[in-house]
A and B are shown apart, each in its own frame.
Chain A
Amino acid sequence: MLDDIDRRLLRQLQADPKLTTSALAARSRVTAQMAARRLEKLRAQGILRGIHGVIDWRALGYEVEVSLRITLDKTQRTAFDDFIAAARQVPEVIEIQTFLGRVDVRLSIIARDMKHYQEIYRDRVLALPHIADIEALMEVARIKTPEGLPI
């Protein structure tokens, strides 16, 4: 499993994903060769799945983000699959999560403004199959974002 060096590397990488391998090595107090080798291994093991660019949708004019918490009609055996397949076709859906709890599925939806959101909601969201109930939460502000793991 992971040793101290792996943990140090991953912790530093999470804290600043833009670091070059040599800078990451210096902060983790290992040689650059060691860091490169360990990162390669973590990738091969599937522990480090990738480093993704993050898009700020506000900078592209998408001012509204809404979290839709959806309960599905589970008497339909294919409800989850049908719903998720249809939700993927809505371009403004940027995240789909499924849950065990009071909520079955959550969609993150972005829109240019409230009018645009209203259109997406009426024309696309309400047309999705097997919906039993929907609750909306509107994002006001992200207080903590990077989703770092306490490694």
Chain B
Amino acid sequence: MTELDDIDRRLLRLVEGDATLSAGALGRALGLGQPAAWRRLKRLEEAGVLSGRRVDLDVEALGFGVTVFLGIKLATKGRVSLEDFERAITAIPEVQSVSHVLGLYDYRLRVVARDLADFERILRRRIMTLPGVGQIESNVLLSEERLPGPLG
């Protein structure tokens, strides 16, 4: 596990806000030289703390009017291979993310669609037809915010 000091935490907050900031710009914001900022950034990347980048797009402007979260319970556990289900579900382009969860449902999915009619088509034709799918719960996303987490 990687231990962070205060400068690392501030650096992570900056990169979380904008991953395209140069080491020079990060250094200036943190009161460090460019090489020192670069070394810290490299260290956090190599330790896997900064695991990648996420492109934030205006989904509505791109024509995706609805985002729906689905809770899926498998009906016939044991008879359906989880790997087969996972492979089939991740192959659907509108399915943005899939989590295997413990609790009321087995999987949690994030699905984008052009509108509710499009969502219904994806749900009926692509998701409900998968082998082993049991109970499904849909919740339409209204708002979403990401927080910096325990970096303060």
Contacts and interface: CB of A to CB of B under 8 A. Distances in A.
A92 B55 contact: no
Interface in B55-102: 55-59, 61-62, 64, 69, 71, 86, 89-90, 93-102
B139 A59 contact: no
A132 B15 CA distance: 37
B16 A53 contact: yes
Contacts of B93: 150
A149 B96 CA distance: 7
Interface string A41-67: 000011111111111110111100001
B125 interface: no
B1 A60 contact: yes
B7 interface: no
A35 B53 CA distance: 19
B51 A147 contact: no
A143 B90 contact: yes
B100 A141 contact: yes
A96 B146 CA distance: 7
A150 B142 contact: no
Interface string B103-145: 1110110101000000000000000000000000111111111
Nearest to B67: A97
Contacts of B97: 142, 144-147
A110 interface: yes
A150 B100 contact: no
B106 to A, nearest CB: 9
A99 B12 contact: no
B147 A88 contact: yes
A52 B54 contact: yes
A96 B100 contact: no
Contacts of A101: 137-140
Given A56-B49, A59-B51, 17 more contacts: A17-B52, A51-B55, A59-B2, A60-B2, A60-B49, A67-B108, A95-B147, A98-B142, A99-B141, A100-B139, A137-B101, A137-B102, A139-B101, A142-B98, A143-B90, A143-B107, A146-B54
Interface of A: 2, 10, 13-14, 17-18, 45-57, 59-62, 67, 88, 91-103, 106, 110, 135-151
